[in-house]
Amino acid sequence: MLADDRPSRTAQGIAAARARESARPEGERLFYDPFAWHFLSRRLRFLVAIPPVRNFLRRRNARLLPGMFGGLVARTRYMDDHLLTCLENGVKQVVILGAGYDARAYRFREQSRSARYFEVDRSATQALKKATLERLLGALPDHVTYVPVRFHRERLEDKLLQAGYRPDWRTLFIWEGVTMYLEASAVDATLGFVSGHAPPESSVIFDYFPPSVMEGTCEFPEARALVRHVRRCKEEIRWGARPEEVSDLLTRHGFHRIRDVPAEECRRRYFRENYTDLPISRLLRFVDAEVA
């Protein structure tokens, strides 16, 4: 578990993938996140700005973590689409759990209309993000509330309610790239909070790995490389589940309309014209469900 006073290095990696995708020509990229580049460290920005170094890093990552870049950009687009659908259907609150450098509150400001955003994360990552946003936007936007939480020490329920979260408003909870770093008890408790503090038709969307990644028995070589990479970032893969276990967990907490898809399914949705040869990680699955 990370110390509270150090920004997440894995969040930097996700921002780098989003920045890389956003640099593709309009009409070819899966999404556009103009904020991602600015969340990168100066060292990382310097490295990726040098074409030979950038190309070397891309080749190395593709070799060590085959399909991971494809999985990450597919995940971002998939969750973007879900957010936009929920906003069109009248969601009034969006809670981003473990927000990292997620920029959806700013990227989709026009589509959000009067929706309220709550970004939940550790204080160190949040402080760096807020400083960057103030520099880019001039001031922090009024429609976003930043909720610092010391995970495993403070209760999500207490912090969100204190920040002005309304349990009677239909809400979308976005939980991207987080569950795998949590203990099973924390995953269970978070889903219990969502189902117990949001009205019917609220929803949660998250991604997860199979348990074999955590157990070290996964047949895919990228799984072992991913675990080593995460450990170098001073983090740990702590949770994974099979689809039937995730379905049982969600049902037990009162969710229904459960949709669970492998990341590879996004090839049909998004990769038909572009990226036809881009591999997509076999480790990632995406699931969303509604509060009954």
Q: In terms of DSSP bridges, do strands 116-121 and 171-175 run parallel, antiparallel, or are they unpaired?
A: unpaired
pLDDT at 2: 45
Q: How many residues does the chain have?
A: 292
Q: Which residue has the higher pLDDT, 268 or 36?
A: 36
Q: Which tens digit of pLDDT belongs to each residue from 127-159?
A: 999 999 999 999 999 999 999 998 767 889 999
Is 6:124 a contact under the CB 8 Å cutoff? yes
Residue 229 has pLDDT above 80, yes or no: yes
Q: How far is Cα 203 from Cα 121, in angstroms, rounded to an integer?
A: 20
Q: Above pLDDT 90, what percent of the chain? A: 73
pLDDT above 80 (res 4): no
In sequence order, which residues have a C-beta less than 8 Å from that of residue 155 and are 6 or more positions away? none
pLDDT tens digit sequence for 206-219: 999 999 999 999 99
Q: Which residue has the higher pLDDT, 274 or 222?
A: 222
pTM of the entire predicted model: 0.94
Cα–Cα distance, 89 to 243 (Å, whole number): 27
Q: Cα–Cα distance between 6 and 128 in angstroms, integer?
A: 10
- Can you tell me the mean pLDDT for 30-45? 92
Superfamily of domain 9-291: Vaccinia Virus protein VP39 (3.40.50.150)
Task: Quote the percentage of the chain above a pLDDT of 70.
Answer: 97
Inform me whether the pLDDT recorded for 69 exceeds 70: yes
Give me the numbers of helices (H) and strands (E) for the chain, helices first please: 13, 7
- Tell me what the pLDDT averaged over the chain comes to: 92
Distances (CA, A) of 217 to 98, 146, 272, 284, 286: 27, 38, 32, 16, 21
- Which of the four pLDDT bands, split at 50, 70 and 90, describes residue 274? low
Mean pLDDT, range 197-214, rounded to an integer: 97
